[in-house]
Amino acid sequence: MADKILHKRSLTTGSIPTTASLEPGEIALNVPDGKIYIHKSGSTGQSIESAVTSNSTSSIGVLTMSGSLILSGSTSVNSGSVFDVSADNISFDFDSLSFSGSVEVTGSLITTAGITASLFGTASWANNAVTASFVQTAQTASYVLNAVSSSFATSASFALTASYVAGASNITASSLTIPSGSITITTGSITMPNRPAFRVTGAGGAKVAITTLSGSYLNVDYQQGSGWDNSTGTFTAPIAGLYQVNLITRTNSNSLGTISQLIVYKNNTGGVTGTPQIMVEFGANTTMNHAGGSTISKLEVGDTLKMVVAVGEISFDANDNFSVAYIG
């Protein structure tokens, strides 16, 4: 019967041999931990080194490799630092890789699948995002479409200053708020939906006080949106903001013995009610024919503008016009 060789061993969990208990090159075992220890001796001095069996889940301390590290299966990282690697390439072949802590990458990070967590840092994808592949397909990526509600889009520095914001071919969002800073576009443009605007000209004929110009008195030159109702001569603001209001008209007679006024009222409810926004007035027996002017009105959603002959007589013909345009 062959002799049985038994290495030094311990049945105590966590027990580690010392250089005093092992000869250089001698092996010892910790049975419950599943670890193998060896007394290392060389130019760097003496130490106890350990190896881990394939089924062990214990920590082995620092892992130093000069080649490739290939892992398969499922790996879960709960906390702490698992890999501190300076290798040129690490390949992971996992169905799922989950981190509940943070992962720091000082080189490049290449992924063929999705990343569902937040991304921060100074790596190439953050500074040179214009050329990164994920930007080229960003139109369908959830973090771009939902960027308004993502914290990194409204507060992170790269979202305010990164060139990919200005250089991206298409960014879709219902609204975008930037709390501070500025947007710089070096090339290209911003395309917005048509702003509310309209312009009407006159159909001619005398109009006497008190008359709201509407319907057959007017010809619609153009309209963007649906704010202007020609049948009632009313513009209703669809969005709040500043609107430029322009008005040109003419006197009906140079021998009329009274003044004549054409006024654009805000929130007119009939007659000469409401707040005057702009008025064109002709004196009695005026030698003028056409006159006009412009102003800027601040309107809330639902506020209205109407053009009313308030005093005397005017003529509103094809050379005259009333126009309103949203400016912001």
Q: What is the pLDDT of residues 15-26, one digit of tens each?
A: 999 999 999 989
185 and 210 assigned to the same domain = no
Among 167, 191, 215, the domain boundary falls at 191
In this structure, are 223 and 282 located in the same domain? yes
- 282 vs 287: CA distance, rounded Å: 9
Q: Which amino acid is at 243?
A: Y
pLDDT band at 287, cuts 50/70/90? Answer: very high
Q: Is residue 131, in this structure, part of any structural domain at all?
A: yes
Contact in structure between 25 and 39 (CB atoms under 8 Å): yes
206 and 303 housed in the same domain: yes
Residue 97 predicted with pLDDT over 90: no
For the CA atoms of the chain, what is the radius of gyration? 40
Q: Could you tell me if 217 and 170 lie in one domain?
A: no
Burial class (CB in 10 A: 0-12, 13-18, 19+), 119: middle
Phi–psi pair at 155, nearest 5 degrees? -130, -25
Helix (H, G, I), strand (E, B) or coil at 93: strand
Token reading at 316: 């509103």
- pLDDT above 50: residue 155: no
Spatial distance between the Cα atoms of 271 and 260, rounded to a whole number of angstroms: 15
Given this model, what pLDDT does residue 236 score? 98
Whole-angstrom CA distances from 310 to 137, 244, 279 are: 60, 21, 10
Please indicate, yes or no, whether residues 241 and 163 belong to a single structural domain of this protein.
no
Q: Number of structural domains, the chain?
A: 3
> From CA 288, how far away is CA 102, in angstroms rounded?
78
More confident residue, 140 or 327: 327
Please name the residues in contact with 43: beta carbons below 8 A apart, sequence gap of 6 or more: none
Pair 202, 309 in one domain = yes
The answer to whether residue 76 sits within a structural domain is no
Three-point CA angle 177, 180, 184, nearest 5°: 85
Residue 261 predicted with pLDDT over 90: yes
Q: Is 221 in the same domain as 320?
A: yes
Final residue belonging to a domain, choices 191, 210, 238? 191
Which of residues 169, 191, 213 is at a domain's end?
191
**Which of 40-49, 106-115, 169-178 has the lowest average pLDDT?**
169-178
Q: Residue 25 is part of which domain span?
A: 8-52
Query: How far is residue 127 CA from its own chain's centroid?
Result: 17
Q: Which has more confidence, 277 or 180?
A: 277
Residue 185 lies in a domain: yes
Query: Any idea of the CA torsion for 267, 327, 240, 266, to the nearest 10 degrees?
Result: -10
Higher pLDDT, 102 or 5: 5
Q: Decide which of 170 and 160 is more confident.
A: 170
Of the candidates 255, 261, 264, 253, the residue with the CA atom closest to the CA atom of residue 294? 264
Q: Can you read off the two tokens belonging to residue 162?
A: 């990164």
In this structure, the answer to whether residues 181 and 205 fall within a common structural domain is no
Tell me if 28 is assigned to some domain: yes
> Are 39 and 23 in contact, with CB atoms under 8 Å apart?
yes
74 residue type, one letter: S
Among 244, 234, 210, smallest CA distance to 305 is for 234
Residues 252, 151 within the same domain: no
Residues with Cβ within 8 Å of 317's Cβ and at least 6 positions away in sequence, in order, are: 201, 202, 203, 204, 205, 250
Residue 270, domain CATH: 2.60.120.40
Query: Has residue 118 been placed in a domain?
Result: no
Interatomic CA distance for residues 110 and 257, integer angstroms: 85
Bridge partners of 212, per DSSP, are 308
Residue 60 is assigned to a structural domain of this protein: no
Least confident of 81-95, 117-131, 146-160: 146-160
Q: What is the mean pLDDT of the chain?
A: 77
User: At 65, is the pLDDT very low, low, confident or very high (cuts 50, 70, 90)?
Assistant: low
Residues 211 and 176 in one domain: no
Do 157 and 225 belong to one domain?
no
